[in-house]
Structure 1
Amino acid sequence: MNRQELISQIKTKKSYLCVGLDSDIQKIPAHLLNAQDPIFEFNQRIIDATEKYAVSYKLNTAFYEALGTKGWESLQKTIEYLPKDVFIIADAKRGDIGNTSSQYAKAFFENLNSDAVTVAPYMGEDSVKPFLEIENKWTILLALTSNIGAQDFEMLELKNGKKLYEEVLEKSQQWGTEDNLMYVVGATKAEYIANIRKIIPNHFLLVPGVGAQGGSLEEVSKAGMTKDCGLLINSSRQIIYASKDRDFAEMAAQKAKQMQQEMALQLAVTS
């Protein structure tokens, strides 16, 4: 999915919701455990319930890889099941020397056919470039994350007076464009988003942390929204685990609809 197609979906659905399919075998409703593929069964129901409200789905690959080959099969089946008009993110946080990154890019872009993959920038340009070389695919670079450990490196002040995350934002713009490069910025860092927009005014941001982690949809939207929206706000646990009973899909739909309605209001303000 290219940039204009993504923007078109945001306008059509009046939404910039990304549903995180962080599907944990230990947290899904117990009655699904008898299914042939419990994770896929769970994902199917969540997707059917939320697709009218979401423009994107993010699959945290760790929850699938932890289950071995069966988990990988669930991941592949889920991606194949997703509607063709949604933006599919493989949240894999890869990044290695060039020839290894090339194989990661092939795995997630060619084999799984995801639209985007999250990538760690720590090893520099040659570790990121192989992902950016795939046409009509997106690299989502970790910039400023919401975990406590972000203070260890991302917030370090360099000799030039910049924070490390600011250096990552500035330097990486030389590697890709607004058409193939996004950035992860945690919703719990909303106070930094205005500054981030000074560095990357038009790139899309993938923003996790709204909901269960305490991030504010309104604050993030006010600080980060562009004329093209420029945001994908991810919500995982708040939606997919809204209920652990047989009504889990219906409850997920309610949570997704609520977020979509809030997003429609924010889009109306900037239009």
Structure 2
Amino acid sequence: MNKAELFSQIQKKSSFLCVGLDADIQKIPAHLKSEKDPIFTFCKEIIEQTADFAVAYKPNIAFFEALGPQGWETLQKVNELIPKDIFTIADAKRGDIGNTSKLYAKAFFEKMDFDSVTVAPYMGVDSVTPFLEFENKWVILLALTSNAGSMDFQLIKDETGKPMYQSVLEKSQQWGNSDNMMYVVGATRGELIGEVRKVVPDHFFLVPGVGAQGGSLADVAKYGMNSSCGLLVNSSRGIIYASQDENFGKSARSEAQKLQEEMSSLLDTYL
């Protein structure tokens, strides 16, 4: 999916919602656990109930990997179930030396046909550029994440006072562009989203941390939105685990719709 197609979906649905499929076998509704493939059944219901409001889905690969070979089969089935006009993100956080990264890229882009994959930048150019060799595929580079440990490295300043995340943003501009590279920017960082936007004005951001982690959607839009929206705001737990009963899908739909309605208002305000 290219940038124009993604923006078209945002405009069509008045939404920049990404639903995170953090499908934890320990947290899904108990009545699903007797199913032959409970994670697939769970994700299928979530997708069918929320597809009207989502422009992206983000399976967290760890929850599927942890199930062994069947987990990989489930992941493939889930990805194939997602409507083709919805952007797909393999949240794998890969990043290794060049020949290994190339194989990771082939796995997610050629074999599984995801639109994008999250990549860690800290091994440098040769760990990232193999992912950029695929047409209409995207690297989503970790820049300023929302977890508590992000401060261990990402906010360390060099001798000029520049934080490390800003160096990542600047250096990576030599590797990709706004048509094949996005950045992970956590919602819990508030006004720092605006600082990131100054460095990379035209790129899309994948923004975790809204909802269960306490990030403000209004602040994300205020500081991060650009002329093509430039935001994919992820909600995982707040949507997919909205309830634990047999109506969990309808509860997920309700939570997704609430976010979409707020997003629609913000798009009207800033675009």
TM-score scaled by length of structure 1: 0.99
Aligned residues: 271
1:239 aligned onto 2:266: no
**Other-structure match for 1:37:** 37
**Other-structure match for 2:185:** 185
Q: Distance in 1 between matches of 2:221 and 2:262?
A: 10
1:81 aligned onto 2:81: yes
Deviation at 1:148, TM superposition (A): 1.1
Deviation at 1:160, TM superposition (A): 2.6
Q: Distance in 2 between matches of 1:158 and 1:77?
A: 45
**Other-structure match for 1:126:** 126
Q: Distance in 1 between matches of 2:230 and 2:152?
A: 28
1:151 aligned onto 2:151: yes
Name segments (4+ residues, structure 1) moved above 2 Å: none
- CA displacement 1:8-54 (0-9 Å, x = unmatched): 00000000000000000010001111111000000000000000000
- CA displacement 1:82-114 (0-9 Å, x = unmatched): 101100000000000000000000010011100
Query: Residue 232 of structure 2: SS of its match in structure 1?
Result: strand
Q: Distance in 2 between matches of 1:226 and 1:59?
A: 26
Q: Distance in 2 between matches of 1:226 and 1:170?
A: 18
Query: Residue 55 of structure 1: SS of its match in structure 2?
Result: strand
Deviation at 1:245, TM superposition (A): 0.5
1:226 aligned onto 2:226: yes
1:90 aligned onto 2:113: no
**Other-structure match for 1:9:** 9
- CA displacement 1:150-208 (0-9 Å, x = unmatched): 11110000123210000000000110010000000011012201111110011000000
Query: Residue 146 of structure 1: SS of its match in structure 2?
Result: coil
Q: Distance in 1 between matches of 2:130 and 2:160?
A: 29
Q: Distance in 2 between matches of 1:71 and 1:65?
A: 6
Q: Distance in 1 between matches of 2:191 and 2:198?
A: 13
**Other-structure match for 2:106:** 106
Query: Residue 149 of structure 1: SS of its match in structure 2?
Result: helix
**Other-structure match for 2:175:** 175
Q: Percent identity?
A: 63
**Other-structure match for 2:55:** 55
**Other-structure match for 1:197:** 197
* One-letter amino acid matched to 2:206: L
Deviation at 1:270, TM superposition (A): 1.4
Query: Residue 148 of structure 2: SS of its match in structure 1?
Result: coil
**Other-structure match for 1:27:** 27
1:259 aligned onto 2:259: yes
Q: Distance in 2 between matches of 1:253 and 1:197?
A: 31
* One-letter amino acid matched to 1:204: F
Q: Distance in 2 between matches of 1:61 and 1:101?
A: 16
> What's the Cα RMSD here?
0.5
Query: Residue 135 of structure 1: SS of its match in structure 2?
Result: coil
Deviation at 1:74, TM superposition (A): 0.8
Aligned pairs for 1:208-227 (under 5 A) are 208-227=208-227
Structure 2 unmatched ranges of 5 or more: none
Structure 1 unmatched ranges of 5 or more: none
